[in-house]
Structure 1
């Protein structure tokens, strides 16, 4: 008898030469107004396709991905069979939980990272429950690592299924890297492009830190920092997460606490944005005249509202992706 959890895919912080393919699964019980089951495919953190319990079919989000599915019916059927298998399996679980009034969210992340300079690839598979680590697969030892006492039961069962674990290993170490290299080649005009961001200085009030905010850049292999007299600062600064925008680009920010800095010394500070593969950095001098703020301006309330909304959005997105960014981690059948 199959016993199926279900699960979401997560993000790792990529190095400058790494590419990634990730499958994010999530299923929930007792949560209103969202699909019971969703799976999203990411290439280099860009969503390229998805399937859910409402549409009941695989849909591409980018033109090159749609062309791949149109031209390669076998590839489409692999995704369709996989999606429907997990969808129906997970629905059995959520229906069972709904009957007893339980509210749970299950997540699974699986995929691989590939270094296009060294050729090294690493597969990962991670399962979570209600936002916490549950169990992970180690393709080197073909065993499962329980991360909560409740996972010992599943570890015992899954470790006894050597054949299924071999399938996991093949997917993580061969199938997924092959998929990733194919996708990077087909979608290179989009996935391997370089977009520079717009950079702004934001400040809610005169006593608030100044935030250097960069948005619209691609890929997500970037760095942003404050420096004084040409030297990078490590104190009185707070670096934010790299977060996705709705259009596939990314955003990030770094805050500078100026409470102990005199007005005369502001000219000594500058914000530096560096995008991997781009020679020239974007340098923004700390200048009161270019800071967007709600101080001393008739349009202040509007600007302040925009800044507040941006900061709130950043906090919310950070919370959603926090579990993903802590991970390094398909399965066919769970018994």
Structure 2
């Protein structure tokens, strides 16, 4: 399933929601690039069956790779993730109620779509995933607009819309039935063309107007190297970046590492910015080879990278200083004793000098 040369790739939906959302952010970026004057609105629908600890239906709406709307089958409520979206929809009091009703309808249809797909692929039970992405991008310099619609099933391309030829592309034999049905529905194609050329760009422009200060915000983080104990992995920790579309990884001799590396989730800070960490296991690395490693942070849409070389003196640790068997901090005791001893020696020398002065 392709739009021009791009492909829609399924994320691992057995991870937590934040990991899924992060992957979708990067996916949306890959689809339309990171041109400074290009804005995007992408809507991601995900339906699943028998996925543990995950809603059967999830909707995520993104503007410029930032989550602005969320709905899932557990809450059954469409709600904003950005304060400026409240202002953007004030002129339409029924907006959120209407969105909730629309998404509940999609929830019911997607549940049926999974059953249809299982029949076509001659499947019964087990874990299955259906995904749909639809959206548009707008270049505020040239005023050019583009639209995308793609579908995936169980991690593989299933169906996509080619707006140039006004036809559907079916890379799977099981999707050909749907392709022919949609190709013959000219009224539906006219609706799609209106959505991609009018409705979607107009709504996107409105959201960019209200959310400009947040949507165009790009904050680079501070990066630190942390280690709990000498045998613990070294954690490269970035905090204070915005938005949450970011990549972080370890390199050796300039090549990205995939082994002995543990990438953490992107987590929110209290001030609205984000943080993330990536750990490196150094148990099999000689100390003299540490400088061959560095940590790389990249914020989506920003060309600048942050490189942090692995050097022992840069590592911050919360390791406690050695204590004696009674739990007393040894340096805390030794230092005063040394000072007292030094003062005693000085006092003794002064005393001797005074005595010698009397007898000479």
| 1:147 equivalent in alignment to 2:147 | no
Match of 1:12 in 2: 28
State the Cα distance separating 1:63 from its structure 2 match. 1.6
TM-score by structure 1 length?
A: 0.65
| C-alpha deviation, 1:271, in angstroms | 5.8
- 2:195 paired with 1:171: yes
Shift of 1:240: 10
- The Cα of 1:21 is off from its aligned counterpart by 1.2
After superposition, the Cα gap between the structure-2 partners of 1:194 and 1:236, relative to the gap in structure 1 and judged at 3 Å, is closer
* Counterpart position of 1:54: 74
Match of 1:199 in 2: 223
How far is 1:35 from its partner? 2.7
Structure 2 counterpart of 1:190: 214
Work out the CA distance in 2 between the residues paired with 1:106 and 1:225.
30
Per the alignment, residue 263 of structure 1 pairs with 288
Q: Deviations over 1:79-111 (max 9, x none)?
A: 244313212323445578999953422111111
Aligned pair partner of 1:35 in 45, 48, 55: 55
- TM-aligned CA distance change 1:12 to 1:278, over 3 Å: closer
Written as runs of structure 1 = structure 2, the 5 A alignment for 1:227-306 is 234-235=254-255, 244-246=266-268, 249=274, 251=276, 263=288, 266=291, 284-291=308-315, 297=319
C-alpha displacement of 1:181: 1.9
- The separation in 2 between residues aligned to 1:224 and 1:37, in whole angstroms, is 29
Q: Determine if the alignment matches structure 1 residue 84 to structure 2 residue 104.
A: yes
Q: 1:55 to 1:273 in 2, by over 3 A?
A: closer
Q: 1:24 aligns with which of 44, 54, 66?
A: 44
Alpha carbons of 1:26 and 1:293: their partners in 2 closer, same or farther (altered >3 Å)? same
Q: What's the counterpart of residue 66 of structure 1?
A: 86
Q: More displaced, 72-81 or 129-138?
A: 72-81
Which residue is equivalent to 1:158?
Answer: 182
Answer yes or no: is the 8 Å Cα contact 2:110–2:130 preserved in 1. no
Unaligned 5+ residue runs, structure 1? 1-6, 300-335
Higher gyration radius (CA): 2
Decide whether aligned partners of structure 1 residues 134 and 282 sit closer, same or farther in structure 2, where only a CA change above 3 A counts: closer
- Which residue of 161, 165, 188 maps to 1:137? 161
Give the Cα separation in 2 of the matches to 1:261 and 1:117. Answer: 53
Q: How big is the shift at 1:199?
A: 0.8
2:152 touches 2:159 (CA, 8 Å); kept in 1?
Answer: yes
Name the SS for the 2:28 alignment partner.
Answer: coil
Question: What is the root-mean-square deviation of aligned Cα atoms in Å?
Answer: 4.6
Taking CA–CA contacts closer than 8 Å with sequence separation of 6 or more, which of the two structures ends up with the larger relative contact order? 1
Change (3 A) 1:191 1:102: same
> Does the 8 Å CA contact 2:78/2:97 hold for their aligned counterparts?
no
| Distance (Å, rounded) in 2 between the aligned partners of 1:85 and 1:152 | 25
Q: 2: CA distance between counterparts of 1:114 and 1:287?
A: 44
The alignment status of 1:102 with 2:112, answered yes or no, reads no
Structure 2 counterparts to residues 299-318 of structure 1, below 5 A = none
Structure-2-length-normalised TM-score: 0.61
More deviation, 97-106/8-17: 97-106
For residues 162 and 136 of structure 2, the distance between their equivalents in structure 1, rounded to whole angstroms, comes to 13
Separation in 2, partners of 1:16, 1:184: 15
CA distance, structure 2, for counterparts of residue 213 and residue 116 of structure 1: 35
Q: What secondary structure, in the 3-state scheme, does the structure 2 residue paired with 1:71 have?
A: coil
Cα deviation for residue 135 of structure 1 reads: 0.9
Aligned with 2:138 (options 110, 114, 127): 114
